[in-house]
Amino acid sequence: MKELKVYNPATNEVVKTIQYTSEEEANQQINKAQVAFESWRERDAHDRSALLLKWYQLIEEHKEELAELITLENGKPYKEALGEVAYANSYIQWYQEEAKRIYGKTIPANQKGKKIITDPFPVGIVGAITPWNFPAAMIARKMAPALAAGCTIVCKPALETPLTTIRMVELAHEAGIPEDAIQYVVLSGRDAGRIFTESPIIQKITFTGSTPVGKQLIKSSADSVKNVTMELGGLAPVIVHKDADIELAVNQTIATKFRNSGQTCISANRIFVHKDIEQDYTALLTEKVNALNVGNGIEKDTDMGPLINQQAVEKVIDQIEDAVEHGGELSLSIEQLKLGGNFLKPVVIRHANLEMKVMHEETFGPIAAVMTYDDLDEILKVANDTEYGLAAYFFTNDYRTGFDIYKKLDYGVIGWNDGAPSAAHAPFGGYKESGYGREGGIEGIEPYLETKYLSIGNM
Ligand code: SIN
């Protein structure tokens, strides 16, 4: 049996060795999920809700253990990991409540004696593929609505961070959710993608990850016309207008930019600051960024952990070198920011311009690149000039300017004077190549439901 070593990105030590799932086992698990679907869909919504509530309570009881696992396999600071567990659990709580609010409707018919009713039914067996950057939250916001809707689900966590998912699934079983209704498989992304999309049993694929992999999954799902939800890459712009509260803008930029060392799909990637305030904004940003304490996430005073691996470090260094070649001014030299292993100090780049890779490629690292602008309408065009459309942020204290920017930005998640817009009760998802479908809110259960309508004649 093939073994998978899970490494701690802070020390490069092995956290745990686990077994891969074989293809035969994965298919057997999918078969079991199909059998479980028949009874899970029949349980009444209150019953499913009660089991999700129990799961929520068990996660709350085990939050320290789960947070430590996240820190060990992902690297993020323990206090941030604890925040992720609470964030993940807020999805379970939300969908535990929503399970009881899946309503049908009656449509006025156009003939006497006729009645039309609609009902939402569970889509079926779900294959979920999740990334390493939020090992608890990304899986929770797929598993919870799927189970609430009456679907059964097989999850494939990232191979860098499978341990959190495994523990969450164990807790779900402990809560009384049937073992075959919620399962995990340990497979490479390529194998899981192939097995899930080729399976005639799986009716829905839900994926969070990169746009190229998402496109591949969409193509392979097309053959059997599977229902898909895609939460893909981003290239978030931040617009700091001349009337913004500079301190608030800096604090919130740091919140969005350096969360999880910048390894977040909704991280700020391009910061556009009005020329009148650029100097003040960048000076304060640099001061606060320099004060961030980089270290092993398990230490209490760590603000920012390592990147996930060397490949991630190299990509970030490449973007920084490229920015310097194109006239960028760094707050620290490249030698100063390399701390060894997977650790990098966060860096501010002044005089960013559109020739730089950092303004076009998703960074997934701790670089804050600041470009100035003069004309708001022009910079809004630049902000929208990308194939991505996940998250965007802007700072202004003028409500007319604010609503105008909100209307013009082609993005699914927008923060106005807010660098932390994500919430279980709000719909998360993107425009354009950032994917389709929404996770969270009342919208987040819809991808797990099919609408059936019944037309009754001769009443
Ligand atoms: C992501 O990186 O896609 C998740 C970010 C979030 O849920 O806030």
Mark whether 280 and 326 lie in a shared domain.
yes
CA distance 309 to 364: 12
- Hey, which residues does 205 pair with through a beta bridge? 127, 228
User: What is the structure's pLDDT at 149?
Assistant: 98
The answer to whether residue 344 sits within a structural domain is yes
- Digit-coded pLDDT (tens) for 10-51: 999 999 999 999 999 999 999 999 999 999 999 999 999 999
- Flag whether 428 is in a domain: no
Whole-number percent of the chain with pLDDT over 70: 100
Cα-based distances in Å from 34 to 125, 200, 317, 413, 452: 6, 11, 46, 34, 20
Which ligand 1 atom is the nearest neighbour of the CA of 428? 7
For ligand 1, say whether the CB of 90 is within 6 Å of any of its atoms: no
- Partnered with residue 236 across adjacent β-strands are 268
Question: Which residue range is the domain that position 265 belongs to?
Answer: 236-423
* Statement to judge: residues 409 and 442 lie in one domain: no
134 lines ligand 1 (CB under 6 A): yes
Tokens 């998402």: give the residue: 214
Instruction: Give yes or no for a contact between 293 and 258, defined as CB atoms under 8 angstroms apart.
Output: no
Query: Is the distance from CB of 331 to CB of 290 less than 8 angstroms?
Result: yes
Of 242, 262, 255, 215, the C-alpha closest to 361 is 262
Number of structural domains found in the chain: 2
How far is the centre of ligand 1, averaged over its atoms, from the C-alpha of 107 (Å)? 37
Q: What is the spatial distance between Cα 147 and Cα 156, in angstroms, rounded to a whole number?
A: 16
Residue 344 pLDDT more than 80? yes
Find the mean pLDDT for residues 300-319.
97
For ligand 1, say whether the CB of 364 is within 6 Å of any of its atoms: no
220 and 244 in a single domain? The answer is no
Cβ atoms within 10 Å of 224's Cβ, excluding its own: 12
Query: Is residue 207 pLDDT above 90, yes or no?
Result: yes
Q: What is the residue-averaged pLDDT of the chain? A: 98
Pocket of ligand 1, candidates 134, 390, 439: which has the most ligand atoms within 8 Å of its Cβ, to mutate? 134
In b/e form, how buried is each residue of 290-315, taking b as 16+ CB within 10 angstroms? eeeebbbbbeeebbbbbbbbeebbeb
* pLDDT tens digit sequence for 155-173: 999 999 999 999 999 999 9
CA-proximal residue: ligand 1, atom 6 (nearest): 422
In degrees and rounded to multiples of 5, residue 17 shows phi and psi of -110, 130
Per-residue model confidence (pLDDT) at position 1: 74
Same domain membership, residue 264 and residue 219: no
Residues 188 and 284 in one domain: no
Atom from ligand 1 closest to the CA of residue 141: 7
What is the whole-number distance in angstroms between the Cα of residue 367 and the centre of ligand 1?
18
Determine the length of the chain: 459
pLDDT at 396: 98
Sign for the CA dihedral angle at 316, 318, 319, 323 comes to positive
CATH of the domain at 338: 3.40.309.10
Say if residue 160 is in the same domain as residue 251. Answer: no
Over residues 116-138, the mean pLDDT reads 98
First to last CA, the chain: 62
> Which pLDDT value is given to residue 4?
98
3-class state of residue 418 by DSSP: coil
Q: What mean pLDDT comes out for the span 327-346? A: 97
Residues 149 and 177 in one domain: yes
pTM: 0.97
* Catalytic residue from among 231, 278, 362, 446: 231
Provide the residue type at 117 as one letter: I
Amino acid at 91: Y
CB of 21 shorter than 6 A to ligand 1: no
User: Is residue 377 over pLDDT 80?
Assistant: yes
Task: Quote the tokens at residue 192.
Answer: 């899981």
Residue 97 annotated as catalytic: no
Q: Residue 204 is part of a domain; what is its CATH number?
A: 3.40.605.10
**Helix, strand or coil, per DSSP, at residue 145:** helix
Residue of 133, 142, 207, 263 with the most ligand 1 atoms within 8 Å of its CB, for mutation: 133
Alpha-carbon distance of 236 to 265, in angstroms, equals 8
Structure tokens at 200: 């005639």
Q: Does 219 share its domain with 244?
A: no
Regarding the beta carbon of 199 and ligand 1, being less than 6 Å apart is answered: no
Q: Is 265 in the pocket of ligand 1 (CB under 6 A)?
A: yes
